[in-house]
Structures are given as C-alpha cells and as structure tokens.
Structure 1
C-alpha cells in the first residue's frame, strides 16, 4: 500500500481513486477508521479514569464518549450533550490558567498526559486508521470489480 494513501486526506483519495463510491460505501470506509480512533480514545480515557462517585448520577468523562455519522459520510467523535463533560475534555486538552478570588494566577493547570490528547491520539493511530480504511476501500472496490 502506498504511504500517500495513509498520509493524505483519505476522502480525497477516495474521490480520486473511484468517483463511483456511493455515500453508503464512503460511510462504511469512514466507519472503520472511526472505530480505530474511538477504541484508542476510550482506552486513553479509561486508563485515566478516577474512581469517584459523582452526585446525582453525573457521568464520568470516559462514559460520555460518543460518535455520530454526518450526512456527507464522515464520522465525528466527541462527548455527549447529556453527559455535560465536553468542556472538561476541552480544559484537559488545552490546559487552562486558574485564577484566585483576587484575579491572580495560580499557574497553568496542564496535566502533561492530557496535553492535546485529542489530536495526539489521532496522530498516534493515523497509520492504523489509514490501513484499516484502505483495506475496507479495497474490499469494496474488489466487490464492485467482481460483481459480488
């Protein structure tokens, strides 16, 4: 498999490789990559889970991971609205500068293992996602060529 397929935007590859890909086929290919990323993200969140029982049944960040397929065929992974934890993921990902009651800083709260974790997990799994997506795309193309 050429590295260019994995290193470049996979949707652009699909458009160039076979303009006959249907939206349903594109969704199937994207879903394979989504599952790789989602599994890696869930593993990261579970590894950093605190054993805290929240009041009123509030969910832990790791329990609010969700995905959604968009009309154009791409998947989005995020945190559910119901869980109300997306802002915490953003704080952990970006770091933040807490202030005391007088407006003075305490210093940056930036746990190193959480720094830019959303992009980092994607980068760490890019090749794995690309290979899985390329295999699925090849299977679809083979089925089309073979008339299955």
Structure 2
C-alpha cells in the first residue's frame, strides 16, 4: 500500500482517470508554444534584413505568435508592423513588369519553407518533452 493509502491499482486507475480527460486548451497552448518558440528560433536568422535604412521596424521584428481558440498557435508577421506583404514577396517571389510590357520573375528566398523543414525535429522534440511533462503532472508523477 502506498503512503497515501492507495494500492498500486487504485493509483493506476486514478492516473488513467486524470489522463482520460485529455488535454485542456491551456495545456495545448503550452505544448504548441514550445513548438512555436523552436520554429521562431530557427526562422529568425533566415529572414532577410535590410541594411542602410532609417526604418525603426524591420521584417524580423514583426514576427509574432497568434493563439487560436482551439489551442493551436500560428507564427507569422503581424498586421501592426505592416511588413507581412514584404515577407510574402521575399519568401514567394514576384513578377517584375518592364516598361515594354514584358515580365521577369524574381525568385523567392523561401525562408519559411526552409525553416519548416529544418525545424521539424527540434520542434517535435520540444513539443514531445512538454507533452510528457504535462502528462506526468496529470498522472501524478514528478519525473
């Protein structure tokens, strides 16, 4: 019998009962925020920085996390910074129109896609560690 007066089976049943409730919105936010922080850490150095400008706000400064009602998090450029369209153009590329009416395609840098590929393993590791921590707390384990 355990110190709290419960047998191993009762502790197990209690732990299962706590785990069966699933993850709350706040717990999902904590887990997803760990992943968003990893993604942001990897993408920030990939975002191009303008030099020789008097602007106070640069594209990288407008990167933010948006919490969604279902507990997920979006990482992107803020509307308030008014730089999101520049980020899209730099990432995706654009067509430049010449005076004669012809177009030249300017290739994008694809920094979001590069960061997505590069961040998969560290993002997964951070989210897995945070999930294990929350599950252990719910189950009553202090690992």
Q: Same fold (TM over 0.5)?
A: yes
Partner of 2:80: 82
Q: Report 1:1-148 matches (<5 A).
A: 20-45=22-47, 48-54=48-54, 57=55, 59-105=57-103, 107-111=104-108, 114=109, 116-146=110-140
**Residue 18 to residue 119, structure 1, CA distance change in 2 (3 Å):** farther
Partners of 1:97 and 1:108 within 8 A in 2: yes
Distance 2:45 2:133 in 1: 28
Gaps of 5+ in 2: 1-18
Greater C-alpha radius of gyration = 2
Select the structure that is richer in strand.
Answer: 2
- Alignment TM-score, normalising by the size of structure 2: 0.77
Gaps of 5+ in 1: 1-16
Structure 1 stretch displaced more, 118-127 or 25-34: 118-127
Offset, 1:26: 0.7
Alpha-carbon RMSD across the aligned residues, in angstroms, is 2.0
Distance 2:129 2:141 in 1: 18
Select the structure that is richer in helix.
Answer: 1
Give the total of aligned pairs: 124
Distance 2:60 2:46 in 1: 9
**Residue 131 to residue 19, structure 1, CA distance change in 2 (3 Å):** farther
Partners of 1:58 and 1:83 within 8 A in 2: no
Partners of 2:42 and 2:118 within 8 A in 1: no
